[in-house]
Each structure stands twice: as C-alpha cells, then as structure tokens.
A and B are shown apart, each in its own frame.
Chain A
Amino acid sequence: DAGVIQSPRHEVTEMGQEVTLRCKPISGHNSLFWYRQTMMRGLELLIYFNNNVPIDDSGMPEDRFSAKMPNASFSTLKIQPSEPRDSAVYFCASSSLRDRATEAFFGQGTRLTVV
C-alpha cells in the first residue's frame, strides 16, 4: 500500500477563497482523522470518522470548516471562506477499528497558506 495519500501537498490561496483538501486512507482502514498542526497549538484533532461516519467533530473550529467521507477510500476537508489564521499544516491519518493491534499512519500533510 502507498500509505495515506494527501493532496495537494502545498496550497496558497487568497483570503475568502474556498479550499478543499483531500485524503485517501490506507486500504482496509476504517478510521480516518483530520489534524491541524501549528507552532503555537501543536497537533489538534479536527474531526474523525469511523466507518465513514463522523464520530467527533468538536475540534472543527468554525462553521467555515466542513469534512465529508463519502466512501471508505476518500475524504475531504473544506474551508469556505478561508482566512489567514487557517494557515497551518493539515494532516490526514488512518487506522483500523477492527484490528486494534495495527498502528495509525499519517499522510505527508498539506501545507496551507492563506494570504
């Protein structure tokens, strides 16, 4: 497996624009996580899904953020409208709820810059 795949790797956008981040989890994994990392706040869990169902979205900062998981192999995180304070690295991770002996794996992240 190629691991967790995120796209794009880098995104520069103007304030007010819509941004969509994409994630393909490891095949067979049924838990998917979206994290945001900044120097000030470290790693923050935004939302996670089990079996494509959102379980905890309490970390989603505002209504400007939304996440979907239409099927087991794809998820999106959307920010609309984007603001400069959204600039961060966004990570997607996946793991298995069925096999708790398996590790969680992270993608390489999307570095978002909102100007």
Chain B
Amino acid sequence: KQEVTQIPAALSVPEGENLVLNCSFTDSAIYNLQWFRQDPGKGLTSLLLIQSSQREQTSGRLNASLDKSSGRSTLYIAASQPGDSATYLCAVINAGNMLTFGGGTRLMVKP
C-alpha cells in the first residue's frame, strides 16, 4: 500500500526566505505527482503536476522536482511572501489514476 509522508508538518519562515517542502512515497511505481495548496476552510488548489517521465516543473516562484527511484519530491518556493501561508499537500497518482495524499505541511510566512 502506498504511503506518502510530508516533512516538516509545520514550518514558519520570515518573508523573503527561500524554502523547500519535502514529500516522500514508499512505492516508486507512480504515474504522476501533484502538489496542492489549501487555505483554511477552503478546497484544494492545484499548483503543479509532474509526470513520471519529468524531473521537474516550474510555475512562477514554485519549482517542483521528482526523483521516482528514491521516492522523493520537493517543492521549492522562492522569495516567500505572507500570501504563501497555507497548507501544502502532495499527492502521488497511480496507474489507475488514484491520488494518495501526504499529511501536508502547514506553512506560515511572517511579514
């Protein structure tokens, strides 16, 4: 059974800092990996999708990498802003299109 772990569970940084969120998974036979953001009381917003054949994806200040063989993905946020404060979730997607989520990292960016 696929297990997804996100470390750290919570992170507090000053504005402007670059930061890395980690996601690890136990079964490397994944199809895709997707990063989401969730604001308090809201739904999940998709940030980036990385296909298994890709090593990384970039969107603005966000860069996500994927290393299938080691079962790891990272989400890099450059020049963090208070508006980046949210919970970040990674999900691995199997061949049947099922998403398995990690527990999330709760990020606080202080002005």
Contact = CB atoms under 8 A, between A and B. Distances in A.
Most buried by B among A48, A105, A106, A108: A106
Interface in A26-74: 31, 33, 42-43, 45, 48, 50, 55-56
A50 B96 CA distance: 8
B24 interface: no
Given A100-B31, A104-B34, A42 B44 contact: no
B97 A103 contact: no
Give the secondary structure class of B's interface: strand
Nearest to B101: A43
A101 B93 CA distance: 11
Interface residues of A, number: 23
A45 B49 contact: no
B85 interface: no
Given A91-B43, A106-B44, A107-B43, A42 B99 contact: no
A101 B49 contact: yes
Contact of A42 (B34, B43, B103): B103
Give the secondary structure class of A's interface: strand
A31 B49 contact: no
A65 to B, nearest CB: 18
Most buried by A among B36, B99, B101, B104: B99
A55 B49 contact: no
B19 interface: no
Contact of A45 (B42, B89, B98): B98
B39 to A, nearest CB: 11
Interface of A: 31, 33, 42-43, 45, 48, 50, 55-56, 91, 93, 95, 97, 100-109
Query: 4 closest pairs, A vs B, by CB?
Result: A106-B44, A103-B46, A108-B43, A43-B101
